[in-house]
Chains A and B, each alone.
Chain A
Amino acid sequence: MKYIYDLHKTMLAENLILVYEGEFTQEITKSVLAMAERNMDSMGEESGIKRKVFNVMVECLQNIVKHSEDPDLKAEKRHTAIFMIGKHKDEYIITSGNSIKAENIEGLSTKLDKINSLDKEGLKTLYKDIIKNTDLSEKGGAGLGFVDMARKSGQKLEYDFQDINDKLSFFSLKTTISRIN
């Protein structure tokens, strides 16, 4: 039973106010959002910060919902994901981790590196360019999620890939929202 105490200690050490591991659906997304909102309300969080956290959470959660529908991931029983929010003195840290196909690593890295290379104005231009010129994907994504997360955060999106096997990789993403204006 030691894992319970270990997990508890990890959560305290990382200041995690919410952790969810499992399947991701729109219903789960709504529940997680409601929990995080209640938590921030009860702590009297400033409305502007609350809105940014909510915003980044939605994009992050809906990204996972869309990608977990991949039949190849389901076949490998790798369609579950983890989502966490850490609350620190000066910032919120929103992290997620989910399996992706190894063949998608390059495209994802290229996209995130491009976003991270841009400043505020550059991100605005990219956002307007994508919204004007791209249609919704089959999965219903606008291709704007990461751009929006970077804009709301105002900081770089940190990411990492860990090999699961030769076909799959675990994609971790970390977005920071400053609590200092």
Chain B
Amino acid sequence: MEILHLEGAEDTPKIILDKNNGIFEISGRSLPEDCAEFYQPILDWIGEYAEDANGDTNFVFKLEYFNTASSKLILDILSKLEDIPNISISWYFHEDDEDMEEAGEEFSELVEIPFEFKTY
């Protein structure tokens, strides 16, 4: 499966989705003008990956900031990931960023996926 790799910008996150190397990561800042358009290729990639997923999948969110429109799309991503067997989420937050920690906790309450919380 093709690797989806997007370099981050000041308003869009860095994305690496790499099935062969088992790397699934969204990091940085997410406040694109059109969140639905930005996240569509990511949702499509995950949809395709779900049809023939690796034995285990650890999906990493290492976000510094995301706007409310992105939060809706993050929930869409998590909902799609729910269908994948042996899926887990690593939710990173800066050690003094309680809001990002709480955001992760809220997402974990909205989907049936195990979350591991880590600081950076």
1/0 per residue A118-136: CB within 8 Å of B? Answer: 0000001001100110011
The answer for the CA separation of A132 and B76 in the assembled complex, in Å, is 10
Secondary structure at chain A's binding surface: helix, strand, loop or mixed?
A: helix
**A149 and chain B: residue at smallest CB distance:** B68
Q: Are B97 and A51 in contact (CB under 8 A)?
A: yes
**A134 and chain B: residue at smallest CB distance:** B72
Number of residues of chain A lying within 8 A (CB) of chain B? 28
A119 to nearest B CB, angstroms?
15
- B75 at the binding interface (Cβ < 8 Å): yes
- A141 at the binding interface (Cβ < 8 Å): yes
* Interface residue from B34, B72, B96 paired with A131 (Cβ < 8 Å): B72
The answer for the CA separation of A131 and B111 in the assembled complex, in Å, is 12
Q: Are A48 and B69 in contact (CB under 8 A)?
A: no
Q: Are B71 and A58 in contact (CB under 8 A)?
A: no
The answer for the CA separation of A181 and B11 in the assembled complex, in Å, is 28
Contacts of A26 in B (CB 8 A): 11, 32-33
Q: Are A128 and B11 in contact (CB under 8 A)?
A: no
B23-64 residues with Cβ-Cβ distance < 8 A to A are: 31-36
Q: Are B71 and A136 in contact (CB under 8 A)?
A: no
Contacts of A65 in B (CB 8 A): 33
Q: Are A58 and B109 in contact (CB under 8 A)?
A: no
- With A34-B10, A62-B31 in contact, is A144–B36 under 8 Å at CB? no
Contacts of B96 in A (CB 8 A): 47-48
Contacts of B109 in A (CB 8 A): 128
* Interface residue from B11, B36, B106 paired with A30 (Cβ < 8 Å): B11
* Interface residue from B34, B65, B106 paired with A55 (Cβ < 8 Å): B65
The answer for the CA separation of A34 and B69 in the assembled complex, in Å, is 20
Q: Are A59 and B72 in contact (CB under 8 A)?
A: no
Q: Are B35 and A51 in contact (CB under 8 A)?
A: no
Considering the complex of A and B, which 6 residue pairs feature the smallest CB-CB distances, nearest first? A144-B68, A26-B33, A142-B72, A142-B68, A142-B69, A148-B68
